[in-house]
A = this chain, B = another copy of it.
């Protein structure tokens, strides 16, 4: 998908709100700077829970919410959809609001202010221009030296994620891969019940629970992991398999997690706790 295609599809997405298309297209066209990436209808994870924002600028860590006077937007979200969705970490993000219950002139003034704020942030942060090819290319992150949760990194394939850590795969399908540090494993889980595994990630993304849906298999798996540290690494770099907002599969970086031996149990499952939100990359 090239930039033209991506932009057209983002702006053409089904509207949840009456005024969303007006506000979102007006901001994008008045901003008139396609070196700034944007995403429409982005799920975000915050300490107080998950939510959906109408417009998201990943480089600037800014969101725009079209405010139609509803309360507690999170309540309106389809819980099933959110589990599989591409969810970005919104720590340190700014959320701007457009109140569309106001007059037409007021809405347009409000949009102008938001566009000005976006421009100011762009000029202050001197962002790297949006390059749709580079952002999915492992070499970008190898050159940068790290992958950070604040950059909302996602790959299109497992092999691309692996290749940020010393691999040179041309294809790779398994849910685990090795890491230059022998105590760490790369993990590509689905973080929702999927018929085989009943995995979960907490809203704050600090904790992941891993458990087989079959009780017998779950027990064997859990005991083996807890007891055999040689065979089963107790640290994992996690790229969760998610559905991007254009319906594409993505593997989104979630951080480095460590097995919590105290909280893990046969009944609970394996409990993984996040220990880092930035990891080193390897050529």
Q: A residues within 8 Å of B by Cβ?
A: 2-4, 7-8, 11-12, 15, 18-19, 21-22, 25-26, 29-30, 32, 34, 103-104, 107
Contact = CB atoms under 8 A, between A and B. Distances in A.
A12 B103 CA distance: 18
Contacts of A26: 25, 29
Contacts of A19: 8
Nearest to A8: B22
Contact of A11 (B3, B22, B104): B22
Contact of A18 (B8, B21, B29, B30): B8
Contact of A3 (B2, B30, B104): B104
A25 B22 CA distance: 8
Given A2-B104, A25-B26, A30-B32, 10 more contacts: A3-B104, A4-B103, A7-B22, A11-B21, A12-B18, A21-B21, A25-B25, A26-B29, A30-B30, A34-B104
> Most chain-B CB neighbours within 10 Å: which of A19, A21, A29, A34?
A29
Contacts of A8: 18-19, 22
A25 B3 contact: no
A15 B18 contact: no
A21 B15 contact: no
Contact of A12 (B3, B7, B22, B104): B22
Nearest to A30: B29
19 contacts: A4-B103, A4-B104, A4-B107, A7-B104, A8-B18, A8-B19, A8-B22, A11-B22, A11-B25, A12-B15, A12-B21, A12-B22, A21-B25, A25-B26, A29-B29, A29-B30, A30-B30, A30-B32, A34-B104
A99 B49 CA distance: 44
A4 B29 CA distance: 19
Contacts of A12: 15, 18, 21-22
A50 to B, nearest CB: 27
Contacts of A34: 104
A12 to B, nearest CB: 5
A44 B4 CA distance: 30
Nearest to A34: B104
Nearest to A11: B22
A39 to B, nearest CB: 16
Contacts of A29: 25-26, 29-30
